[in-house]
Amino acid sequence: MSALIVWKAEYDSGIEFVDAQHRGIVEVANTLFRALESGSNPELARVLALLVEYSESHFAAEEAMLAATPGYPDLAKHRLAHSAFITRVRSQCVSPKPEEVMRFIREWLVHHFLGIDRQYLSYVRPTRAAPSP
């Protein structure tokens, strides 16, 4: 079965809930890709809406973590990046342009996981040490 994004170990941040949610977003993106391949426009619109919903929920959780992280300097920039993604994907929900939106989603997600999401690890990790048993 084809996939838009194949998860790679390098996408893992080591923060359990972030990785679970990132993998969930990739799963929805791959479902979207399959809907595109099947040529079902109603399904495409439905899964696009699901991607928006799932991403909004993850971004809110990630932003809450970062807002509670002392010294993290990029919260405003990070929030903007998240909202730009939502705006772009949501605009495609109204009038899907399949190839364009799939390319955008793949490039944005991989770039985001490997870019700004990696940059917060040096701030988050020290305060998110393994919980005591």
What's the CA angle centered on 21, arms 7 and 46, to 5 degrees? 90
Phi first, then psi: what are they for 8, rounded to 5°? -120, 150
Q: Is 25 a binder of Fe ion (CB under 5 A)?
A: no
Q: Is 124 a binder of Fe ion (CB under 5 A)?
A: no
Applying CB under 5 A, which part among 6-14, 26-34, 99-107, 114-122 lies near Fe ion?
Answer: 114-122
Q: Is 117 a binder of Fe ion (CB under 5 A)?
A: yes
Number of residues this chain uses to bind Fe ion (CB under 5 A): 1
Q: How far is the CB of 86 from Fe ion (least distance, A)?
A: 12
Tell me the two tokens of residue 69: 């992280």
Quickly tell me which residue has 């972030």 as its tokens: 18
Residue 107 CA to residue 85 CA, distance in Å, equals 11
Q: How far is the CB of 42 from Fe ion (least distance, A)?
A: 30
The residue ranges that bind Fe ion (CB under 5 A) are: 117
